[in-house]
């Protein structure tokens, strides 16, 4: 049997061991493990990388700990506006949505855009109309109400700042974390895929959209190079076209996945001032989980290896 593998993230940022209770750490690890195992099960049964990344991201979207789906942060107007994208490395098909509300699993809507529309990217009201047409169930506002997220909005409003999930002065004991969830996978057929989903920034205004739904910035997949899902300060990730940059270094310069990730995450982004990280896989099953922040919720499992879970830098 050919090998398969999956890697996921649940956000990056100033995540310090000294600020984490063991109970909270356990909950995060359980959330990551459940998502990896959901994707791994698909892959072990010969399923596609696309199904695996969608399912892993759905599991993270359903978990209120992560800034996506149920745990999505609040906008300035007290709404949950979510962004997501998915890409199939087999044929470079992609789907994305932004500014969507009342959809339980935005990642599945982005997949519907890819598979059932002639477009790549739908936003706001139009995306909602498409969701209705595709018979996506309406999920009421109460489902997305998470007290901690609402408190974060109040504190961001007080300081009139737009906050990337838990930023420095957050209620989470000074923890600074970029939210967002994502997954990349390789299936036994040799195909790779990537998926990313987020609530974006607390207190965001004016229809702000980050890198997560932007193909080439927050998400990219190409069987010939790599599949990437990013998390971090979206404005920088958009301007640095992070995911596609890694793919280009591999395609045009012949760099390995590791070397390409290192240049983009630990050199270019650092110089640029873009904090965050990403998960990456290539068609040989190599996995990289680079980040230039203090920590990144992350995990991976290869068919011939143990489950790995990580939060901090060490
Ligand atoms: N990259 C996301 C954005 O800018 C945020 C994050 O990763 O937490 O919307």
For residue 202, name the pLDDT band (cuts at 50, 70, 90): confident
Nearest CA, atom 4, ligand 1: 234
Instruction: List CB contacts of 218: < 8 A, sequence separation 6 or more.
Output: 85, 180, 182, 196, 210, 211, 212, 229, 230, 234, 237, 238, 242, 243
Pocket-testing residue among 82, 231, 291, ligand 1, by greatest number of atoms within 8 A of Cβ? 231
| Ligand 1 pocket, residues with Cβ under 6 angstroms | 11, 67, 164-165, 178-180, 198, 200-201, 210-212, 231-232, 234
Looking from the CA of residue 235, the nearest atom of ligand 1 is: 4
Residue tagged 């958009």 (tokens): 238
Question: Tokens representing 309?
Answer: 């879970």
Centroid of ligand 1 to alpha carbon of 101 (angstroms):
17
pLDDT at 1: 64
Looking from the CA of residue 232, the nearest atom of ligand 1 is: 7
Question: Tokens representing 133?
Answer: 């047409």
Pocket-testing residue among 211, 213, 228, 229, ligand 1, by greatest number of atoms within 8 A of Cβ? 211
Domain assignment present for 84:
yes
Pocket-testing residue among 14, 15, 218, 277, ligand 1, by greatest number of atoms within 8 A of Cβ? 218
Mind listing the pLDDT tens digit for each residue in 149-188?
A: 888 888 887 777 666 664 444 434 334 556 799 999 999 9
Instruction: List CB contacts of 54: < 8 A, sequence separation 6 or more.
Output: 86, 107, 108, 111, 195
Centroid of ligand 1 to alpha carbon of 67 (angstroms):
9
**What is the share, in percent, of the chain residues with pLDDT greater than 90?**
80
Pocket-testing residue among 69, 210, 213, 279, ligand 1, by greatest number of atoms within 8 A of Cβ? 210
Looking from the CA of residue 218, the nearest atom of ligand 1 is: 1
219 catalytic? Reply is no
> What CATH number is attached to the domain comprising 196?
3.60.20.30
Centroid of ligand 1 to alpha carbon of 85 (angstroms):
13
pLDDT at 164: 60
Looking from the CA of residue 179, the nearest atom of ligand 1 is: 8
Going by C-alpha positions, the residue among 186, 230, 207, 157 that lies closest to residue 48 is: 186
Mind listing the pLDDT tens digit for each residue in 85-141?
A: 999 999 999 999 999 999 999 999 999 999 999 999 999 999 999 999 999 999 998
pLDDT at 117: 98
Q: What's the CA gap between 314 and 296, in Å, rounded? A: 11
pLDDT at 211: 97
Strand pairing category for 121-123 and 93-100? parallel
pLDDT at 4: 98
Domain assignment present for 314:
no
How many domains does the structure of the chain reveal? 1
Of the residues 75, 180, 225, 231, which is catalytic? 180
pTM: 0.94
Looking from the CA of residue 208, the nearest atom of ligand 1 is: 9
Centroid of ligand 1 to alpha carbon of 141 (angstroms):
21
Domain assignment present for 312:
no
Domain assignment present for 313:
no
Q: What's the CA gap between 248 and 250, in Å, rounded? A: 5
Centroid of ligand 1 to alpha carbon of 44 (angstroms):
31
Question: Tokens representing 93?
Answer: 């098909």
Q: What's the CA gap between 66 and 45, in Å, rounded? A: 27
Centroid of ligand 1 to alpha carbon of 296 (angstroms):
13
Centroid of ligand 1 to alpha carbon of 151 (angstroms):
19
Q: Domain of 41? A: 5-306
Domain assignment present for 311:
no
Mind listing the pLDDT tens digit for each residue in 33-65?
A: 999 999 999 999 999 999 999 999 999 999 999
Going by C-alpha positions, the residue among 259, 255, 226, 256 that lies closest to residue 243 is: 226
pLDDT at 172: 42
């Amino acid at each position: 049997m050919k090998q398969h593998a999956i890697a996921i993230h649940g956000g990056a940022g100033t995540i310090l061991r000294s600020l984490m209770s063991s109970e909270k750490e356990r909950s995060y690890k359980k959330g990551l493990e459940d998502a990896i195992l959901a994707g791994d099960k698909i892959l072990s049964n010969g399923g596609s990388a696309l199904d695996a990344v969608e399912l892993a991201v759905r599991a993270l979207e359903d978990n209120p700990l992560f800034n996506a789906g149920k745990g999505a942060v609040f906008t300035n107007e007290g709404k949950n506006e979510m962004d997501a994208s998915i890409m199939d490395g087999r044929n470079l098909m992609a789907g994305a949505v932004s500014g969507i509300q009342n959809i339980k699993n935005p990642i599945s809507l982005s997949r519907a855009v890819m598979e059932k529309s002639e477009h790549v990217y739908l936003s706001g009201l139009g995306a909602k109309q498409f969701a209705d047409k595709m018979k996506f169930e309406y999920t009421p506002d109460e489902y997305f109400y998470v007290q901690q997220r609402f408190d974060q909005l109040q504190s961001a409003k007080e300081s009139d700042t737009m906050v990337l999930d838990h930023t420095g002065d957050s209620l989470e004991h000074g923890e600074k974390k970029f939210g967002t969830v994502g997954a990349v996978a390789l299936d036994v057929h040799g195909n790779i895929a990537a998926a990313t989903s987020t609530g974006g920034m607390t207190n965001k205004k004016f229809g702000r959209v980050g890198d997560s739904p932007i193909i080439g910035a927050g998400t990219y997949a190409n069987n010939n190079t790599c599949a990437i899902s990013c998390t971090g300060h979206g404005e920088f990730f958009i301007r640095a076209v992070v995911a596609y940059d890694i793919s280009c270094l591999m395609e045009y310069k012949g760099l390995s996945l590791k070397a390409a990730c290192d240049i983009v995450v630990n050199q270019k982004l650092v110089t640029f001032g873009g904090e965050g990280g990403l998960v990456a896989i290539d068609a040989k099953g190599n996995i990289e989980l680079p980040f230039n922040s203090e920590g990144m919720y992350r995990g991976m499992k290869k068919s011939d290896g143990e489950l790995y879970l990580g939060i901090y830098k060490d």
